[in-house]
Amino acid sequence: MPELPEVEVTRRGIAGPLAGAKVHALRLGKPLRWPLGRDPAAFTGQTVGEITRRGKYLWLPLWNGARADGGLLVHLGMSGSLTLQQQAAAPGPHDHFELATDRGTLRLNDPRRFGAVVWSASLAEQPAATLLSRLGPEPFDPELTAPRFHASLRQRRSPIKAVLLAGEAVVGAGNIYACEALFQAAIHPALRADRISLPRADRLLAAVRQTLGRAMALGGSTLRDFTDVHGASGAYQSQAAVYGREGAPCPRCGAPVRRRVMAQRSTYFCAGCQKR
């Protein structure tokens, strides 16, 4: 599943080339998770603005000359990947969205079709407003300080692993990154979030930032052509300390890494190093 680092790496790859691009045509394949919400012909002649990201959503603002005219909110779902091709071949069976521009063709390939491309008049209006309303703070938002993160954890009684996956205290700590950040912060994944002290919350936030930052750096180095959106987590996973390493020695103490299913997801941890 594409996680926040892959989405950010994708954004960095397409934002520069597409800023100021003129739309020739918007084409749709099979239905995605939600309908586009606007006549595809309405996009012809529009200009793409500066692409931004919120959580795992990308926002492609569109302009009619000097007038803002909403934009496209894009989510990669379970299996989506975006590519920008200069010489686009004919769409394949899993290409369900295409934005042909004078700077290349942006294409969404999504075999499982849980992804979405929806038009919204602005981020503050529907459907964007509802889709973004439940997202927690961005991990690298300077306003997300350790005391604020700690205060947010204090309100939640679920295991810290589940709280991270829910994305309400901070977005972006998907399963791999949640496991790795908890290991790095030496916090047991089953510990109740409201029992975590301020110094430990501080360490956890730093660990979340470090794991996500490292994945973005790895993705940036391996995704030059943006053809494989899963490359970032793949490259990161090969360097993981505990994720996917059940039975292997903990890199810190040598005890075997354990796996337990929590919140329906495989959780990897070291029972020796990660304290309740």
The catalytic residue positions are 2-3, 56, 265
Site stretch for Zn ion (CB under 5 A), options 58-66, 70-78, 116-124, 244-252: 244-252
Three-state secondary structure call for residue 167 = coil
The residue sitting closest to Zn ion, measured at its beta carbon, is: 250
Q: How many beta carbons lie within 10 A of that of residue 112, not counting itself?
A: 12
The amino acid at 154: R
Verify binding: residue 273, Zn ion, rule CB under 5 A.
yes
Indicate the DSSP class of residue 192. B
Nearer CB in complex with Zn ion: 118/179: 179
Under rule CB under 5 A, residue 129 binds Zn ion: no
Paired tokens of 16: 């520069």
Length of the chain: 276
Cis peptide preceding 137, ω within 30 of 0: no
The nearer residue to Zn ion, 156 or 188, going by C-beta atoms, is 188
Q: Specify the residue, 151 or 255, whose C-beta has the smaller distance to Zn ion.
A: 255
Number of residues that bind Zn ion (CB under 5 A): 6
For Zn ion, give the closer residue by CB, 73 or 270.
Answer: 270
Least distance to Zn ion, CB of residue 201, Å = 21
Q: Which span (11-19, 86-94, 195-203, 243-251) binds Zn ion, by CB under 5 A?
A: 243-251
Residue in the block written with tokens 């793409």: 48
Can residue 253 be called a binding residue for Zn ion (CB under 5 A)? yes
Please, which residue, 117 or 185, has the CB nearer to Zn ion? 185
Nearest to 182 by CA among 130, 235, 230, 243: 243
Residue 141 CA, chain-centre distance (Å), reads 15
Q: What amino acid is encoded at 230 in this protein?
A: H
Helix axes 198-222, 175-184, angle to 10 degrees: 130
> C-alpha angle 234/239/245, rounded to 5°?
90
Q: How far is the CB of 270 from Zn ion (least distance, A)?
A: 3
Cα distances (angstroms) measured from residue 163 to each of 84, 174, 196: 35, 11, 12
Q: Which of 7, 1, 72 is nearest to 212 (CA)?
A: 7
Q: Name which position in 53, 156, 230, 252 contacts Zn ion (CB under 5 A).
A: 252
Is residue 248 within the footprint of Zn ion (CB under 5 A)?
no
CB of 182 to Zn ion, least distance (A): 12
Q: Among 37, 234, 256, 272, indicate the residue that binds Zn ion (CB under 5 A).
A: 272
31-39, 78-86, 187-195, 248-256 -> range binding Zn ion (CB under 5 A) = 248-256
Question: If binding is defined by CB under 5 A, does position 250 make contact with Zn ion?
Answer: yes
Q: Which residues bind Zn ion (CB under 5 A)?
A: 250, 252-253, 270, 272-273
